[in-house]
């Protein structure tokens, strides 16, 4: 990795960065059973070929960045599932290798290079709450201090920093405290860069209750953060949240979920699905790194990329 902004060439040449969509959602569409505490990381054990297939599908759909299946991967989680430290580390490395191989296979075809730049691979790092598998990434009330959070995140960051991933993706972070812990820990890896996205509960606040704008300001204070924004948040909140942000040194990123809500008791998504992702509205409000999270599809990514490419008119990418 490098802490140079890997998004810069995309912003200069095409005006936006297209992210992927719901990795777990598309794996389930292919028959994966993710009813497990390891969630999407379970497929690293059971069916890594499904992960590869979804990565390839999102690249074909137009993703400029794909995220690894390590969101819910932790040494504690693998240990609880009966996998020792060496096995857990190997599985985390496999997750990156699968994404890298999908990227290289895609880029090897000359036809895929037309109006495209070589896509990025982000090593996904979910919040502490993800390993609890109880929905606490949507409130952040862990009862842990900053040092405890740093100690939790450090081991897998050490592993993922020693891979071919282009950057870290700190995802679905519910509180300023956990964001502060990640940014402090990131300084231990001075050659690495990361994007930071919060889960948000309304049009002003991240899930734990702090102002989203304060999260953006926090990211602006770090030279290693190369994009900041929100993910796994209802689409209806995206525009109001962007409106709360003033000038930002850091590119803004948005990749909401479908609008449904996660019910940890029933272990399923409930509520109404949003059938349109207003990517152009978000772009006009300042977002430059866009995509989808849980319950968003390959078709959503294709649609958003087409809209953004037509809108920016920067179709001369070489």
Residue 213 pLDDT greater than 70, yes or no: yes
| Residue 122 DSSP SS3 | strand
Q: Is residue 45 part of a domain?
A: yes
Average pLDDT over all residues of the chain: 91
Are 270 and 277 within 8 A, CB to CB? no
Q: Is residue 318 part of a domain?
A: no
pLDDT in tens, 130-174: 888 788 888 999 999 999 999 999 999 999 999 999 999 999 999
Residue 198 pLDDT greater than 70, yes or no: yes
What is the CATH number for 239? 3.20.20.330
Phi, psi torsion values for 67, nearest 5 degrees: -105, 140
Q: Is residue 317 part of a domain?
A: no
Are 256 and 233 within 8 A, CB to CB? yes
Predicted confidence at residue 178, as pLDDT, reads 98
Are 107 and 173 within 8 A, CB to CB? no
- Residues 47 and 49: their CA atoms lie apart, in Å, by 5
Taking the model in full, what pTM does it have?
Answer: 0.92
User: Is 244 or 42 the better-scoring residue by pLDDT?
Assistant: 244
Q: Is residue 1 part of a domain?
A: no
Give the number of domains in the chain. 1
Residue 35 pLDDT greater than 80, yes or no: yes
- Of all residues in the chain, the percent with pLDDT exceeding 70 is 92
Predicted confidence at residue 314, as pLDDT, reads 64
Strand partners, 262: 269
pLDDT in tens, 55-100: 999 999 999 999 999 999 999 999 999 999 999 999 999 999 999 9
Are 232 and 208 within 8 A, CB to CB? no
Continuous segment of H or E residues that includes residue 287: strand 287-290
Residue 262 pLDDT greater than 60, yes or no: no
Q: Which structural domain, as residue segments, surrounds residue 67?
A: 8-312
Q: Is residue 164 part of a domain?
A: yes
Q: Is residue 77 part of a domain?
A: yes
Q: Is residue 2 part of a domain?
A: no
- Residues 141 and 138: their CA atoms lie apart, in Å, by 9
Residue 25 pLDDT greater than 60, yes or no: yes
- Of all residues in the chain, the percent with pLDDT exceeding 90 is 79
Q: Is residue 252 part of a domain?
A: yes
């Amino acid at each position: 990795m490098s802490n140079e902004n890997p998004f810069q060439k995309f912003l200069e040449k095409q005006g936006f960065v297209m992210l992927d969509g719901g990795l777990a959602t598309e794996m389930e569409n292919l028959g994966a059973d993710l009813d497990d505490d390891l969630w999407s990381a379970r497929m690293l054990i059971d069916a890594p070929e499904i992960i590869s297939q979804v990565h390839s599908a999102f690249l074909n759909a137009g993703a400029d960045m794909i995220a690894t299946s390590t969101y819910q991967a932790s040494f504690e989680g693998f240990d609880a599932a009966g996998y020792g430290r060496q096995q857990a580390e190997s599985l985390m490395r496999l997750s990156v290798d699968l994404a890298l191989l999908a990227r290289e296979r895609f880029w090897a075809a000359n036809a895929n290079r037309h109006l495209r730049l070589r896509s990025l691979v982000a090593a996904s790092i979910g919040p502490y709450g993800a390993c609890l598998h109880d929905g606490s990434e949507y409130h952040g009330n862990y009862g842990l201090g900053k040092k405890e959070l740093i100690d939790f995140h450090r081991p897998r960051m050490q592993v993922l920093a020693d891979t071919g991933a282009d950057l870290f993706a700190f995802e679905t972070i519910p509180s300023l405290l956990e964001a502060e812990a990640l940014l402090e820990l990131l300084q231990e890896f001075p050659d690495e860069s990361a994007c930071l996205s919060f889960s948000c509960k309304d049009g002003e606040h991240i899930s734990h209750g702090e102002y989203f704008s304060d999260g953006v300001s926090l990211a602006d204070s770090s030279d290693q953060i190369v994009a900041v924004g929100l993910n796994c948040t209802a689409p209806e909140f995206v525009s109001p949240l962007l409106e709360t942000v003033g000038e930002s040194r850091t590119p803004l990123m948005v990749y909401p979920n479908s609008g449904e809500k996660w019910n940890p008791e029933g272990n399923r998504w409930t509520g109404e699905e949003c059938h349109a992702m207003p990517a152009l509205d978000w772009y006009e409000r300042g977002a430059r790194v866009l995509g989808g999270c849980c319950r968003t599809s390959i078709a959503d990514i294709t649609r958003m990329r087409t809209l953004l490419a037509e809108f920016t008119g920067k179709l001369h990418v070489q």
